Amino acid sequence: MKLDRRTISVILLILGMALLFIGISTDNSIFSWAAIACVVISFIIGKRWMKRKKR
């Protein structure tokens, strides 16, 4: 199974949301920072970061 950019981006986004939930529920800032990093990396890999909308 070959993973493309979009699949990796979705996986990182879901992982980031899970880490954010764990970080908020346990009041642990390390999980929250890891979640932010996963979401930002997901946006960069998926080329959704600062992308103009097509009109």
Confidence of residue 44 (pLDDT cuts 50, 70, 90): confident
Distance CA 49, CA 12 (A): 14
In this predicted structure, which of 9-13, 23-27, 51-55 has the lowest mean pLDDT?
51-55
Smallest CA-to-CA distance from 48 within 8, 18, 17 is with: 8
- In which band, very low, low, confident or very high, does the pLDDT at 15 lie, cut at 50, 70 and 90? very high
For residue 48, is pLDDT > 80?
Answer: no
Range of the domain at 37: 5-45
Number of domains in the chain: 1
Could you report the per-residue pLDDT of 19-42, keeping only the tens digit for each? Answer: 999 998 998 889 889 999 998 888
**Pairwise CA distance, residues 5 & 46, whole Å:** 6
